[in-house]
Each structure stands twice: as structure tokens, then as C-alpha cells.
Amino acid sequence: MYKLMKKYLFALDPETAHERTILALKVAKQTRMTGVLRSRYTVKDERLHSKLWGLHFPNPVGLAAGFDKNAEVYESLAAIGFGFVEVGTITPLGQSGNTKPRLFRLVEDEAVINRMGFNNEGAMKAAENLQHYANAGIPIGINIGKNKVTPNENATNDYATCLDILYRYGHYFVINVSSPNTPNLRDLQETEGLRQLVRGIQKKKAELEKKGTVSKPILLKVAPDMADEQMRDVVQLAASEGLSGIIATNTTLSREGLQNETMKHEAGGLSGKPLTERSTAWIREIYEEVGDNIPIIGVGGIFNGNDAYAKIRAGASLVQVYTGMIYEGPGIVKAINQRLIELLERDGLTNIHEAIGVDARRS
């Protein structure tokens, strides 16, 4: 079925295809088709269950930020089998993002380049859409960033504002300082600047919890293009400043090994299969640095259960897909989970948790 739909979607401009997919997921919710989707796509198996930050994940396969930018369709996404969904990136004020075209398929490489630029309707609209986030039945993460017009020296205010508006909603939050599509955003990954940013966010978090809001974990999403030393500094900073987890990794600026000569020179972040091995290697390095002290969510080039399992064995507690779903369709979640069960049985493991970091610990 998706082969026919893919042919239709791939005939469209990529951003138009995305918008129509969001519309279809809205219709699915409005027409109460989510039950049908759930019965078709959900894999229920206790071996895939895990618990992190006091949250129950029915399976380790989540959807990365960037798809449901305005928190409009997370309930329908839950129905196609995701174990968790991350919405956003959300900024304090709505913004249109970068000039179109800004999304490109590299079909030969099974990859995507995007320079969207945090296009979203803003934190107040997201809060409105997240009023019933608990209805999804899975953990909902909220990815937050700064507005394009906000200088880096004032970035803390933007992240704190997002937290202030959205902290009552969702189950965890992600600090996004690693997108390559907002000018100078990645400069916030420099150690001392990042330390001040994290401390400002943690201060706001503490203020909100003093008012009675339930504590929520805060994670940091990192770029794959940092040098080894900088990555180690960032990871150690996350640990020392009390962050709850790391998402590895965001899109890359590298164009190494791409076959598509037409699109590869487009500016923006590259995702998909070219990032598979690179992100897995970073997960392993981060896990070797922090062990089980800070959970890792692995993302980058996951197209099947083997890709997901490699990231889990490298040290990821959970994984996320996005570009893989563009190429493989909504059935990717079910296929990954079914393959994970097969791999657990092959390795004589009784729960997905037992596979975390196995390869890193053996090195």
C-alpha cells in the first residue's frame, strides 16, 4: 500500500508531501481511524518495554523532532506504533523559517537535506495543541529552541520562555542547540556558553517546580560534527549540570560519499542512511564516556531493526526515526519492533534493556 502512496508523495515537492501527510494524520484522528491504525501497526511485547525517568515506554522506537512541529498529530502517530513521539522544534514566537525551497530528497542516497529553520507557530499554539497530550498513551517529548532573531547572548531567555509556557505539557524536554539551520545556533554548544544556557534552563525548571509543577527530565541534543574533544566536553557538562539524557545525533553538514550530484550542494542538515554509521559511532563514544549514568536516545539513519539494534548495542536506551519513515512508510515502526524481538531471541536476551551498551562494554 505504501508503495503506491510513496509514488504519489515522491511526485510532490517534499514540503508539500509533508504537509499532506500531516493533514492525513489529522483526518485519521477526526474520523476516529486511530483504532484501526493501532490494530494494524502496534507491536505489543513486554520484552520491548522499558522505563526511563519514571516514564513507561511500550517500545524503544520513537519519532524524532521535526515531523510534528506544532504538536498537531501526536495521537495519530502513537496509533501507528511509536513508543514515544517528540514534537517541535518549538520557539517562543511563531516564525516562518527559511526561504523555500528548503527540503530536498536525495533518493539515490536514501537521504534528506533540510534547512527548514525552526518553522513553527510558537509556544502558545503548541501549548494549546498539547492540552490533551496524555491521551496519546505514550511519552511525548517537547523539543525547544530559540527564535532566529534572538541573539545568542539572549538565547537563555527564549529557552526559559518555552519552558515557562510548555512545562505543564509533555513528559520530557529537549534543548536543541545543534540544528545547523538557525544562524550561529551551534555556537551555543561551546562549553562555557552552553553551561550558562543549561544553568539558566535549570533555574527556570526549579522555579516552575517550586510552584507545584511535576518535575520533567531535560535532555540535550548534540550535533555529529563536533570534534572528539568538544563532544567529550559537552557530554561531561551535561552530566555535571544534571541533565537527564543526551540525544545523539542531529543532522550533519558533511556531504561525504553522497551519490546525488544535483542536491548534495544544497545548504542544510543531512539526514538518512549516510548518517547511520556516524551516529552509531558517536553513541558508542558517548556511552563509553558516561556509561549508564546518562541515558542516550540514538537517532540518525535508522531504516530497519538491525540499524536500531546496532544503536542500542552501542549504548542507546531508546532510538528515533524520521527520514527512514519517509522512505519506508508508517510500517517502519512495526517492522523495527518485530525485528528487535527476533534479535533479542537470537541473542538470548529477555528484555531490550539487556542489550544496551553490549558492544561498547566489550571493547
Q: Which residues are tagged catalytic?
A: 179
Cβ atoms 90, 120 nearer than 8 A = yes
Contact of 244 with 271, CB cutoff 8 Å: no
**H runs (alpha helix) in the chain:** 2-10, 14-30, 34-41, 74-79, 123-129, 155-166, 191-210, 228-240, 276-290, 305-314, 323-328, 332-346, 358-362
Long-range CB contact pairs, 290-293, < 8 A, 24+: 290/235, 290/236, 290/239, 290/246, 291/357, 292/356, 292/357, 293/239
Q: Please state, in angstroms and rounded to a whole number, the distance separating the CA atoms of residues 75 and 286.
A: 32
